[in-house]
Amino acid sequence: MSDLIDADLPFLTDLRRGLHAHPELGFEEERTSAIVANLLEEAGLEVHRGLGGTGVVGTLRCGNGPRSIGLRADMDALAMPETADRPWKSTVPGKMHACGHDGHTTLLLGAARALAKTRNFSGTVHFIFQPAEEGRGGAKRMVEDGLFRLFPCDAVYGLHNMPGLDPDEMAVVEGPQLASSDSWRVTFRGTGTHGAKPHLGRDPITAAGAFLSALQTIPGRVVDPLQPAVVSACSVQAGDPKALNVIPDLVEIGGTARAYSPEVRDQLKAEIGRLAQGTAQMFAIAADYTYIRRIPPVINHPDTTQRALGAARDVFGEKVRTAFPPSTAGDDFAYFAGEAPGCYVWLGNGPAVDGALHHNTAYDFNDAAIGPGVRFWVRLVERELSGEAAHD
Ligand SMILES: [Zn+2]
Ligand SMILES: [Zn+2]
């Protein structure tokens, strides 16, 4: 198996660099998904195109094992310029693969190509190539379009590269990996009046000030101190800097909320609203409140984590970390992990060259991680669909 993967590395490296040079934004991955679908078909998989817009699912069945698993790669790039010079630099102004999804796509294709040849497993693998991970809702759209109805999965796995870990190193950790990422808005509705005659109106700005200064009591005084939570007000709009003698009718406030558990997420939603309504009542004005649930937290299930850990140890030996801090970023893989037990692993991307981390204009996926990443996916399928014990 290892020889087969090694022999495919020149092809996969060219493929990765080709994808890097032709980045496409979420739901626009026409070229990328065509390449993916064609390569899967060429390898002999059943291919479903156009699920969730530009999403692709390739299915490989082998033997009579009843278990089905889904492996996820994301395909989209970011709307930002690439500044570093390299032969495979982005050819599209203002778009670049700054999160390594070119690499993720390549790894999963490499695994599909290898497994289609060796077929050393018994069961069904769905290779899920997702559009629009970067905030455009690709995973949700695939689920809404029937991903798990068409391709039932007993478990789902996701992988993301991580600068700072070696390319032959992996972190597989049970529990929270990525935070929920939600938005909220509060509008305080007072009665505008002359700045010199506040008693003739109801001032929403003073109310907003009280609300903002109380906001941090939610993570500080309400949420369990052992549970991470972030509430940030990121936008405040009111009045006009050219009208400094006018108390406005409205103050509009917006922000973000992050948590690592569904319970804390619900708590943040309830508490921000309670504070807004309570403040409005205190100042005899009105408040409108909306909380927009965007992405749930990614929480690794104990069973799938053990399965992924077994495969990681087979491939990476001692270089598997079982303790690694979760990220305050989000990944909509959470929608897949909401439908079946899930595990999201971190594959090393080597040192961050010149500090180029994810979403940096000089970032690049490290091709040295292609071999290890493909080996991990292949080993995971072989173990997951072999009937071998999950716990070792
Ligand atoms: Zn990203
Ligand atoms: Zn990413």
Q: How far apart are the CA of 391 and the centre of ligand 2, in A?
A: 29
Distance from C-alpha of 307 to C-alpha of 37, rounded to nearest angstrom: 28
Domain 180-295 sits in CATH at 3.30.70.360
The pLDDT value given to residue 37 = 98
50 phi, psi to nearest 5 deg: 70, 30
Residue 390 has what pLDDT? 43
Annotation says 76 is catalytic:
yes
Active-site entry in 29, 133, 168, 332: 133
CA atoms of 81 and 95, how far apart (whole Å): 5
Q: What does the block give as tokens for 350?
A: 């080597």
Please state, in angstroms and rounded to a whole number, the distance separating the CA atoms of residues 126 and 59: 5
Q: Largest Cα–Cα distance in the chain?
A: 82
Domain boundaries, the chain: 1-178+297-385, 180-295
- For residue 312, the CA-to-ligand 1 centroid distance in Å is 23
Structure tokens at 149: 């109805």
Output the known binding site for Mn(2+): 99, 101, 134, 160, 359
24, 76, 102, 384: the active-site residue: 76
CATH number for region 1-178+297-385: 3.40.630.10
Beta strands in 118-164 (DSSP E): 123-130, 155-162
Q: Is 46 designated active site?
A: no
Which ligand lies nearest the alpha carbon of 78? Answer: 1
Nearest ligand by distance to the CA of 347: 2
- Say how many Å lie between the CA of residue 31 and the centre of ligand 1: 20
Integer Cα distance of 262 and 329 in angstroms: 16
Residue 387: per-residue pLDDT: 59
How many angstroms is it from 330 CA to the middle of ligand 2? 9
Cα 384 from Cα 154, distance rounded (Å): 10
Q: Tokens in use for 79?
A: 């709307």
Residues in the chain with pLDDT values less than 50: 389-392
**What tokens appear for 344 in the block?**
């999201």
pLDDT number for residue 391: 41
* Residues of each annotated binding site: 99, 101, 134, 160, 359
Q: Point out the ligand nearest to the CA of residue 73.
A: 2
Nearest to 125 by CA among 93, 98, 155: 155
What's the rounded Cα separation, in Å, for the pair 224 and 93? Answer: 46
Question: 356 alpha carbon to ligand 1 midpoint, in Å?
Answer: 13
Ligand nearest to the CA of 101: 2
CA of 179 to the centre of ligand 1 (A): 13
Alpha carbon separation from 244 to 193, 239, 247 (Å, rounded): 12, 8, 8
pLDDT tens by residue, 99-155: 999 999 999 999 999 999 999 999 999 999 999 999 899 999 999 999 999 999 999
Give 108 Cα–ligand 2 centroid separation in angstroms.
15
